[in-house]
Amino acid sequence: MALVACYVLFFSIPKLILSLLQINFLKQERVKSPYILESNAFLKAADYAIVRERISVANILVDMLLISFWILFGLSALDSVLELSPLVKSVAFVLCFLVVGALANLPFEAYQTLVVDKKFGFAKGGVKLFILDSLKSFGLLLVVGGILILIFSWIILEVQFWEMYVFIFGVVLIVGVNFLYPILIAPMFNKFTPLENVELNDKIDALLKCVGFQSKGVFVMDASKRDGRLNAYFAGLGRAKRVILFDTLLNKIPHSSILAVLGHELGHFKHYDIYKMMVLVLGFFGALLFVVANLPESLFLSANVERNVHTLIVFLLLLSAPIGFYFMLLVNWQSCQNEFAADKFGASLTSAESLANALLVLVKENNSFPLAHPLYMRFFYSHPPLMARLMALGCENLANCANKSQEV
């Protein structure tokens, strides 16, 4: 019971309070002047953010109930039912925990995708695509996740100083996923085709050469089959790097703004941001492993589980999410600093007006509200809100900047 109380007090309730603060903030800001967006877009973005946050509140409550169930009854009940070897039991425990969590989250994802996103003009795919995506995700969880859990569990059970070897394997895994994502993982969900617009392709190639960025090419992703959101990004590491443009982006903003968005992404490349963030996350991963390896026996007894056999489930259940929640304060702060620096770099390659225009269109088309409650933003925003980014670009008179940007 003490574990449940700690989890709820230091994780569930703070998340719930932040969501309620954000909802109240959005309601208050909704009736004020529309700032940088036109009135209809401003109201639509506020309404969309409020609905999403209400779904998050419901999700937090269900998560709190699930965690309470696992700690008070589920772990011990599952342990008594599974008469298996320690290794198989460890894998079964973690898979059960992850699958039940995914199934509990599925109704929220379905409501968000099939009801809310469709209402606000995003969702294009429908029920069939949602089911197909869900089946693919569950397949990856069971097959790939099962193999990885098996490896982690074997190391914990069989290897002395297991935390060191789990960390090494985690480093290899994270680097490998980043390297293979654009080649193996992303194509499972979307189709990627080489950019056919020769003029734009030449402009992008010139921009890439300007900063010494080598990639496997510029690809267009069929994002429109799911929704109408706009985006562009670089994916992969080393020689596997690719430039990815959403097909929804190409018809919404001019070439100058597309180049500004890519210039922003090149800023991340030039500043080694992906590697900085990987070091930060891996540092947290290593510290968390050290904590788990040195947990007192009393903690395992209070949860009615065995050390080693259930170490991985304790890592996932009791520590990674709650501690990670507060660790995100540091991650998001660093990420926001990276975004400001990348904006500055992208503006230097093209112009502040072109980047401002791109940001305005992205925010409008993606229904992103340009403001957020300060405390909520610290915990959940990896990118600064639109207002802060435009001000950092030197647009002190935001309305004039918006008007000027629309003329580019």
pLDDT in tens, 317-330: 767 888 889 999 99
Q: Which residues pair with 242 in a beta bridge?
A: 235
pLDDT in tens, 77-111: 877 777 778 898 888 888 988 899 999 999 999 99
pTM: 0.82
Which residues are CB-neighbours of 314 under 8 A, at least 6 positions away? 292, 295, 299, 300, 303, 305
pLDDT in tens, 155-187: 999 998 999 999 999 999 888 888 888 888 888
pLDDT digit of tens for each residue in the chain (408 aa)? Answer: 777 888 898 899 999 999 999 999 999 988 876 666 778 888 888 999 999 999 999 999 999 999 888 888 887 787 777 777 889 888 888 898 889 999 999 999 999 988 998 888 776 778 888 899 899 889 988 998 899 999 999 999 999 899 999 999 999 988 888 888 888 888 888 888 888 888 888 888 888 888 887 777 788 898 887 777 788 887 777 766 788 888 888 878 888 888 888 899 889 888 999 889 989 999 999 999 998 888 888 777 776 667 777 788 877 776 788 888 999 999 999 999 999 999 999 888 888 888 888 888 887 777 788 889 999 999 999 988 887 888 888 764 544 444 444 433
pLDDT in tens, 50-84: 999 999 999 999 999 998 888 888 877 877 777 77
